[in-house]
Structure 1
Amino acid sequence: MMMPPLPVDPMPMFDPFGVVRAANEYWRDALERSVLYMDVMRQRGNQYLEHMEKTKPNVLGFEAEVLVNGRDLPHPVNYELLRIEPPEGVETDPLKRPFVVVDPRAGHGPGIGGFKPDSEVGVALRAGHPCYFIGFLPYPEPGQSVEDVVEAEIAFLRHVGERHADVSERPMVVGNCQAGWQIMMAAALEPDLFGPILIAGAPLSYWAGERGGAPMRYTGGMTGGSWTTALLSDLGDGLFDGAWLVQNFERLNPANTYWAKQYNLYANIDTEAQRYLEFERWWGGHVFLGAEEIQYIVDNLFVGNRLSTAQLVTRDGRRVDLRNVRSPVVVFCSRGDNITPPPQALGWIRDLYEGVDDIIANVQTIVYCVHDTTGHLGIFVSGSVSRKEHTEFTANMDYIDVLPPGLYETTVTPADELTAGASPERDYLLEFQQRSVEELDEEIQHRPEDDTRFATVARVSEINLGLYRLFVQPWVRATVTPDLATWIRRLHPSRLRYKVFCDRNPFMYGLPALAEGVREDRHPVSEDNPFRVIEGLVSNEIVFGLNTFRDLRDRAMEWLFIDLYGQPLLQALVGLHGDAHVHRRRPGAEPEHRRFIERRKAELRHHIAEGGAHEALMRSVIYILGGAPGTDERNFKRLRASRAELEPATDLASYKRLVRDQFFILRLDRDAALEAIPELLRGESGSAIDAHLQHLDHVLAASGELSEHAAARYQQVRALFERAKTPRVATS
């Protein structure tokens, strides 16, 4: 007779010896990790001191040659133009479009755009493009201004163009963060020097931002304006310490700054040390700005928002109007970026243009790409972003350069998600959708009533800055000596945390030997150790608590800002009480601009029936390719084929002009433009028209079959070409 099975105890048997063993293993591992963590802090401190003692500190991962020293220019600046030397095994083609990467000078040193092989510089080099880099030295030149820097960047681009005079395509320029708006200023002043421009995480519209998602835009109002900038510059004896900017960035995410970044190193000390040290070499490489530079930036951009509204004027009387940029502009931003959220990266478009017709009339091509998750640094540092978005932007810049004027949103689609028949050359396909300004508004989330609040901040800032300069600044400047300014910089918390843990600290003397002993006899604990699991849970709770504090802080600051600067009394006291819309300049709505748009349309109406076979063929190609709801690089291959097949002797500038004029004519009056095609072909013989149709076939077959809609349009165009063969009947 079989015995019934014993009941299974739902609770496992408690093993006190197992718990003690797990505890011993965990505490031994925790102690070893602590020693190794402190040794990494020591290495970080040594690395910081070594880096800052260099004459030209940077974190470039490539060898480079200085071509132009900004200190030799008529208005000296601390910027340099460098030629990147391709690494071993990588070859560049001197006849390809040159690439110029410009790094941000926003508290950190240069080099992050070429930090590692998977970077903007690395992507361009692997694609075979000659690559250049615009970097800078730690200290500004005496009297250096923002305008001087912009003029220096213009001189650098002119030099690159002269080095590649045989290349028909102008240089592509990548501007990261703060460098983005400087490059846009330069391109607005000298548009003929620039090819396509990629601005990554660049804030151009500082008043923009959605509620609950852009805490930095309230900073100026909560500090009473830019007088604090002047005070910090005076405490630096005419130099503004970039460590203050870095500290502002760190305060945005206290969970990462004060816990998560350090805990991730501690928890993964055996694998994360090298990556951590490489990043900290850049993050801790603080640089300086001149007092005049930072005051100009804060007054005119952060607080005044004058760049995106065409209110900046140079000292020689030139207006910095971003509508003067003639190169395609690619705006890359991310919803996960709390330093430059999408509204601040894209708001300038809404500030300058009332609609897409305005963009087209200005012959501008604007492409924007919004990443869903990556943070601010990830936009131009992340390896995954470089391998995906930056690789696709680089590969498609020649296509974007001939993209007809308008506003486009682009997405990067993995090859394995494409529909049947698609055959991209790489792992991804860059796709474009035409957008309207109204659709862009969904991303910008503009609130007219906020304009009045920020205009009030600008007025309050001017008043407080004037009071500071009158009553306080003379006393500060009389008190602060060069030696005192040096000690203030040395004692800055963002610098001290690097200096305290280094070999110059006698308390670190025995740490290297102790850490080496731990590495030789390391006892890592398993991930399923219950105490290690509890450690992770505690860390998550700390992160959650700090994130909650951040959210409450940001919400309270936003509420206080909105309530304080929304007060009608305060607005009236600074002379701004009234309708909100009058406090933000809208260049696109101004009468002279509207007259320009109407003149442009009238000019093109006269050209609808002017031209010949060149205009007829390009008009046909654009009409056929415009039949699909979206477009991608496969259609751009057809545009490229159209130049080789239809316009082989045409230089790129003339070809682009032909494409854009015909696109504008089609958009202005499509029916009239199509009906004019037979008229454009009247001087052609029947055999010549057949040859044109054959060329058209080759162009359209350059990258797969046409869509059903495009094929129908092609038949419509063929009928128009056939009609051109019919002799015109003379009338009495």
Structure 2
Amino acid sequence: MSDNSSAAVATSQARVLTPFDLAHDAWEYSIDAWQRSILFLDVLNQRSTHYHEHQSKTAPNVLKFGWELEVDGRKLSKPVNYALVRIVPPDGQRPDKYKRPFVVVDPRAGHGPGIGGFKPMSEIGVAMKAGHPCYFIGFLPQPVPGQTIEDVARAEAVFLQHVIDLHPEAEGKPAVIGNCQAGWAVMMLAAARPELFGPIIIAGSPLSYWAGAPKQNPMRYTGGVLGGTWLTALLGDAGNGKFDGAWLVSNFENLNPSNTLWSKHYNLYAKIDTEAPRYLEFEDWWGGHVLLNAEEMQYIADQLFVGNKLSSAQMTFLDGARLDLRNIRTPIVVFCSKADNITPPQQALDWVLDLYSTVDDIRAHGQTIVYSVHESIGHLGIFVSGSVAKKEHDQFASNIDLIDVLPPGLYEAVLTPKDPTDPAAEFVTGNYLLRFEQRNLDDIRALGANSEADDREFATVARISEINLGLYRTFMQPWVRAWTNESTAEALRKLHPLRMQYELFSSANPFLQPFLSSTEWSHSFRQPISTDNTFWKLQQQWSDWITASLDAYRDSRDNAIAAWFHAVYGSPLLQALVGLRASDIASSPRPGDDAMHRTLVEQKISELKSRIPDGDPREAVIRALLYIRMPDGVVDERGFNLLRRMREETGRGVKLSAFKKILREQFLMLLIDERSAVNAIPAMLARNPDLASRMKGKLDRMIELVGVYSKDARARLAEIEALFESSEIHMPPEKGMGVSTEGQSVRSPKHH
């Protein structure tokens, strides 16, 4: 059939409207629109009721799990408004006492706690499903007078030590998840107290605050547009020493005006018969505004968002301890998304570029850094999306022990759908195969990074901020504080636009009552219309036009802000006035090399070199496996799960911490002197032939499962097989593994 004839058929099947049809559509639409409007107002009224009920609670949260208080931060020597609670497993679930506990830390960024356990399928939910005990660190709406960010960090250290003490048989320290703003708090504490941590997962967490893609990520320009952090100080003073978190929520909402001003509520209106429960559930968290001490917020703004001092090791605690993220000794998993306009991948990852010059530098500090970049999920979806929980968070929780034993270096976590035909499918947890592929710093730079000129501009903002803050504190602050008291501060909080909307649609509004009186009638006689209705289609088109217009406004606004920022702070004159020259900042600030650390590294290298010939067949097989797999640069869960199963079948055996130590040492020995390390394998095998034979079987099974793919890896496999042959350790022919001349692994015929 030709295109013209197809179009004719489609036209003939299209609805032909008569004046009567239009009148009928208009009548149906008017009834539906009236009922929708009543039901829409009723949902907003319910939202206001929920808001006031939520705010009246002593410890409001949105956790969907039962919990029991473990440690109340208000009772510590330096009291804070934080608390540690134990998550009570649902009926039928019982944690494994040998598995490390998970601790989820929620962000205090304007909202209340609970987002990490907002749904049954969440960070907490998947960790419990994997058999891990779970704990949650949350907070109360009101800060303890005088508490500081450092006080909160020290309280969290007490919480983690308490969790460690509760699980003496657990294999490994707690895995800690820091969401959004909690991510930098967790990293600060881990830098100061690394001995308290197992693997760290930071989800949607900003650590490099100046970073971003060119002409994108407008939130990073806010400090420059406002002239620095003096406005933060003003709001703290106007709040009588407390900063209203609703202002932070406003900043998030301003990023996407089409959603804030239209789409979110139009979606509720258009789906009023089904959308209300989901809308109200989310609004309970989004509207749970909390307060911070003015000193806490000023510290965050000055030291982090404008000063960008965390990733350059310029921050210290009062006892003089320098917060250097290079001190962290446990694996760090960074989970971010390209569609996140609050914490873009650059802000989540560029701290690695600020701290390290090469991947070898990462290894020299004994660090393991893993990152995963989602293509499309938004900022909140990183924590609350069910699809993300079922995929990324589920795999991180199920494979947390594998993450803990990864050799030092930089990796990307790659998830692929599970292949049921894979002979090793039984060793894949969940519906996805998780593998870790080695990366270098250029892979992070490819996501977008600042130029030298960009860094000078942000450094200029930091100095302008110090000047303006000094002017405010000298000339304005005394007057503001003189006119402020708790009554005026509370009045200002109630008049905040985000809070006013709850009052506007509350039952206390007499103008709302006549409409709400029709709610029962609207439910009882509901007459929804078809989406084929002419006026419904016009409504949808109108909504699309409003959304597009607001998006166009947003893009124009953001482009104008970026242009203004670069024009003002890129001025050589302004930079010179604040004492900066082009040569002052050649790149992102990077802390200098520590002479003591260099000495320790040299001593460690010398010690490892002297121990290369040492070890038994266990160390020899691990060294051989690492040697074979290094050219492929990939680690996946199948081999590790095989080892875990073998270990379970033969008793607990070597502890996970001991296995991690062996693995890392063998990996570093190969990096230091690869040839000597390989040549030492026969002598290591000869020390215990029986154990060597058993370990060789495990090596063969491992290679069978994961395969070798590159030409270099296949050549290394042949070399290792020859070394084992020279040690008179043979394997049955049917379990062997041939070496292909093509670019793929080859298993024995019985496994094809």
TM-score norm. by structure 1 comes to: 0.93
Within 2, Cα distance between the matches of 1:168 and 1:422?
26
Provide the residue aligned with 1:428 in structure 2: 432
Matches within 5 A, 1:238-253: 238-253=241-256
Unaligned 5+ runs, structure 2: 1-7, 730-752
Contact 1:49 1:499 in 2 (8 A): no
CA shift in 2, pair 1:631/1:686, >3 Å? closer
Contact 2:244 2:292 in 1 (8 A): yes
Residues 288-320 of structure 1: CA distance to partner in whole angstroms, max 9, x if unpaired? 000110011000000111111111111001111
CA drift at 1:592: 6.2
Query: What amino acid is aligned across from residue 577 of structure 2 in structure 1?
Result: L
Provide the residue aligned with 2:134 in structure 1: 131
2:113 pairs with 1:110: yes
Specify which of 584, 587, 591 is matched with residue 591 of structure 2.
587
Determine helix, strand or coil for the equivalent of 2:169. coil
Q: How many residue pairs align between the two structures?
A: 718
CA drift at 1:108: 0.2
CA shift in 2, pair 1:708/1:220, >3 Å? closer
Specify which of 304, 309, 314 is matched with residue 311 of structure 1.
314
Specify which of 36, 55, 58 is matched with residue 55 of structure 1.
58
Determine helix, strand or coil for the equivalent of 1:581. coil
2:642 pairs with 1:622: no
Matches within 5 A, 1:173-572: 173-415=176-418, 424-572=428-576
Matches within 5 A, 1:583-732: 584-587=588-591, 600-638=604-642, 640=644, 649-681=653-685, 684=687, 686-687=689-690, 689-700=692-703, 703=705, 713-724=716-727
Contact 2:315 2:323 in 1 (8 A): yes
CA shift in 2, pair 1:325/1:346, >3 Å? same
Residues 637-661 of structure 1: CA distance to partner in whole angstroms, max 9, x if unpaired? 2454686699964332222111111
CA drift at 1:254: 0.2
CA shift in 2, pair 1:657/1:14, >3 Å? closer
Specify which of 110, 114, 120 is matched with residue 123 of structure 2.
120
Within 1, Cα distance between the matches of 2:534 and 2:671?
67
CA shift in 2, pair 1:685/1:663, >3 Å? closer
Residues 672-720 of structure 1: CA distance to partner in whole angstroms, max 9, x if unpaired? 32112224345x265554344234335545x466658656534422322
Determine helix, strand or coil for the equivalent of 1:82. strand
Specify which of 566, 575, 579 is matched with residue 579 of structure 2.
575
2:64 pairs with 1:70: no
Within 1, Cα distance between the matches of 2:15 and 2:116?
55
Within 1, Cα distance between the matches of 2:167 and 2:470?
49
CA drift at 1:106: 0.1
Determine helix, strand or coil for the equivalent of 2:476. helix
Residues 3-48 of structure 1: CA distance to partner in whole angstroms, max 9, x if unpaired? xxxx999697541111111111111111110110011111111111
Determine helix, strand or coil for the equivalent of 1:134. strand
CA shift in 2, pair 1:324/1:427, >3 Å? same
Provide the residue aligned with 1:729 in structure 2: none
Contact 1:104 1:179 in 2 (8 A): yes
Query: What amino acid is aligned across from residue 355 of structure 1 in structure 2?
Result: T
Determine helix, strand or coil for the equivalent of 2:350. helix
The Cα RMSD (Å) is 2.4
Within 1, Cα distance between the matches of 2:648 and 2:700?
13
Within 2, Cα distance between the matches of 1:561 and 1:589?
33
Query: What amino acid is aligned across from residue 409 of structure 2 in structure 1?
Result: G
Provide the residue aligned with 1:3 in structure 2: none
Within 2, Cα distance between the matches of 1:163 and 1:202?
28
Provide the residue aligned with 2:741 in structure 1: none
Contact 1:614 1:646 in 2 (8 A): no
Matches within 5 A, 1:84-95: 84-95=87-98
CA shift in 2, pair 1:335/1:310, >3 Å? same
Within 2, Cα distance between the matches of 1:170 and 1:53?
37
Query: What amino acid is aligned across from residue 429 of structure 2 in structure 1?
Result: E
Contact 1:448 1:580 in 2 (8 A): no
Q: Single out whichever of 579-588 and 447-456 deviates more from structure 2.
A: 579-588
CA shift in 2, pair 1:230/1:417, >3 Å? farther
2:32 pairs with 1:29: yes
CA drift at 1:421: 6.4
Determine helix, strand or coil for the equivalent of 2:465. helix
Unaligned 5+ runs, structure 1: 1-6, 727-732
Residues 211-257 of structure 1: CA distance to partner in whole angstroms, max 9, x if unpaired? 13211111011111111100000000000000000000000000000
Determine helix, strand or coil for the equivalent of 1:374. coil
Determine helix, strand or coil for the equivalent of 1:313. coil
Determine helix, strand or coil for the equivalent of 1:634. helix
CA shift in 2, pair 1:526/1:688, >3 Å? closer
Determine helix, strand or coil for the equivalent of 1:615. helix
Provide the residue aligned with 1:99 in structure 2: 102
Residues 150-199 of structure 1: CA distance to partner in whole angstroms, max 9, x if unpaired? 11111101000000011122111111000011111111111111111110
Query: What amino acid is aligned across from residue 223 of structure 2 in structure 1?
Result: G
Contact 2:192 2:323 in 1 (8 A): yes
Q: Stretches of 4+ moved more than 6 A in 1?
A: 7-12, 417-421, 642-647
Query: What amino acid is aligned across from residue 488 of structure 1 in structure 2?
Result: L
Q: Single out whichever of 368-377 and 669-678 deviates more from structure 2.
A: 669-678
Within 2, Cα distance between the matches of 1:662 and 1:101?
33
CA drift at 1:430: 1.3
CA drift at 1:129: 1.5
Query: What amino acid is aligned across from residue 632 of structure 1 in structure 2?
Result: D
Query: What amino acid is aligned across from residue 245 of structure 2 in structure 1?
Result: G
